[in-house]
Amino acid sequence: MDKLKLKALYADLRPDLDQVEKELITSVASDAPLLTDASLHLLQAGGKRIRPVFVLLSAKFGDFSIERIKHVAVPVELIHMASLVHDDVIDDADTRRGRPTVKAEWNNRMAMYTGDFLFSKAIASLANIEKPYAHKLLADTMVELCIGEIEQVEDKRLYDLSVKDYLRRIRRKTALLIRVSCELGALASEVDDKTRIHLRNFGYYVGMSFQIVDDILDIVSTDEMLGKPAGSDLLLGNITLPVVYARDEANVSRLLARIEQGDTTEETRHELLTVLRKSEGLEKAKRLSNLYLEKAMNEMRSLPNSPAKRSLQNIALFMSKRKF
């Protein structure tokens, strides 16, 4: 994703995001230099802070106070980070975003407890918001993320994954944390219920659209654009929407059968990418992504015009229409 272009869409938020960034650093302070170092290592890896952006923009529809809202923006980003560091333990990953993982730089024990530490710090930060319902929302989302992690394995190598299975998976993997970011931002700023629900639904639909696009880009992008071999996830049995749709096309099903029998050579990967890029499945996936984008835009329709609304619309468009 072109980070610079994305950031231009919420340039107005710069001072608020700087405050969030400061609070992120403050929030991981502790008596344990190792845990704080590992957390800072993760924070400094960058990331787009897209979840805090959704929190802030949603909060702008109500009684906005950066001093209050930073305690919502920080937890969602910390939970995102915690889930990444735990994933790295399980996936045995050595790098993420081009930097060594906590697991690689320190060890598995550090990665485990850094994740737990970040979860705890997220809850501690949210405790500044005097709304028990906020804790319930965030905790319920965390539960769904865990379920998603377990389902992902069950689904793995299941070449008969249905469209419904796929959608349920990306809902938990991506859409729910964006949804809760919007909803918590609105809740903490006393946004009226009707607007809050629109923002919440908007976040959900944007998340769905975004993840489908991500999965399309994994097929159509070059290795250089992705920073990893295109289609590599498919070889591992992580089936995505374009493949689900294209599975019945003769060339695709022939190749999938080969992969399922263990043929994961470079040649097979290239062949699969070639047929998928020309397949109907790719077009169908794009259509579904556009449908979610449309639904997201519909949620915005009845909300009053404002710079925050325009930013949300632009971000949604950008995330769904990006080329990498």
Tell me whether residue 195 or residue 238 sits nearer to a second copy (CB atom).
238
Cα separation, 193 vs 19, in Å, equals 27
Residue 103 CB, nearest approach to a second copy (Å): 12
Residue 136 CB, nearest approach to a second copy (Å): 4
Helices (H), the chain: 3-8, 14-27, 33-44, 50-59, 66-91, 102-105, 108-126, 132-155, 163-170, 176-188, 193-220, 223-226, 232-235, 241-246, 250-260, 266-277, 280-301, 307-321
**Angle 16-138-115 from CA coordinates, rounded to 5°:** 85
3-class SS of residue 275: helix
Residue 191 CB, nearest approach to a second copy (Å): 20
Tell me whether residue 108 or residue 290 sits nearer to a second copy (CB atom).
108
Tell me whether residue 144 or residue 218 sits nearer to a second copy (CB atom).
144
Residue 264 CB, nearest approach to a second copy (Å): 21
Quick check: 69 and 55 in contact, CB under 8 A?
A: yes
Residue 85 CB, nearest approach to a second copy (Å): 11
Tell me whether residue 116 or residue 233 sits nearer to a second copy (CB atom).
116
Tell me whether residue 135 or residue 278 sits nearer to a second copy (CB atom).
135
Question: Residue numbers of the site for a second copy (CB under 8 A)?
Answer: 30-32, 34-35, 83, 86, 89-90, 108-110, 112-117, 119-121, 123-124, 126-133, 135-136, 138-140, 142-143, 145-147, 149-151, 153-154
Question: Nearest CA to 102 among 25, 42, 149?
Answer: 42
Question: Nearest CA to 168 among 160, 176, 177?
Answer: 176
